[in-house]
Homo-oligomer: A and B are copies of this chain.
Amino acid sequence: MARSGKATATRARRGVRDAEASRAAILQAALDEFSSVGYDGARVDRIAAQAGLSKPLLYDYFGDKDELYKAALREAYVQIRAGEEQLALEALSPEDAVAALVMFTMTHFRTRPWFITMLNTENLRQGSSVSAIGDRREIQSKLLVKLSDVLERGWDDGVFLRRAKPLEVYMLIASLCYFPVSNRFTLTEVFGFDTGEESLNAHARRATEAVVGWLKQKGDTP
């Protein structure tokens, strides 16, 4: 929804009859729609309208709702991974790098909640579409690579006493940042948990303390 203005504006500027632009407009509109209301709640009509194009064109480009959804899911990963490239950790100390990573992840999730809703939607569908994305291993988080380097440096420096695998650490960080964003509505209602920026950042700080503390504990993964 928030995104629609931009997409429409883009198309208006470019003018019609540009296949590439039309495809992109549909894809963005689809991502908006699927992430807003899930697969079954999504309406092809709305996607077409949002893109400022007709339904037949949409079907021409993407085949059917399912294929469009698959393309939108892939696009969600692509956009998220593109954002992750912005993060630079090399100049930071291992401890600061982990802290930056956690905070970045939280901000990333908080400002792009559509990514989380897409994941939830796809998991409700039992991953049936993600498994059909050909290059799904390439959409892995780029943070894993950066994290790997940070852990290495921390171990070499002697500041991290735990020999942890990057994926294990990433799972801790992602878990901690995912939950309060994914469940922001129910948490607010049931626990009165504040899901505003400040509150989420405070949670992220606690998460950082826990993760960094854990890395400093002596211990190995068997």
Contact = CB atoms under 8 A, between A and B. Distances in A.
Nearest to A133: B189
Interface residues of A, number: 58
A173 to B, nearest CB: 10
A30 B139 CA distance: 36
A175 B167 contact: no
Contacts of A41: 38-40, 124
A182 interface: yes
Q: How many copies does the complex hold?
A: 4
Interface string A164-179: 0001100110111111
5 contacts: A40-B40, A120-B123, A172-B176, A178-B182, A213-B217
A214 to B, nearest CB: 4
Nearest to A187: B171
A186 B124 contact: no
B172 A124 contact: no
Contacts of A137: 190, 192
A66 B137 CA distance: 39
Given A123-B182, A183-B119, A186-B123, A217 B206 contact: no
A221 B205 CA distance: 10
A192 B190 CA distance: 34
B39 A185 contact: no
Nearest to A124: B38
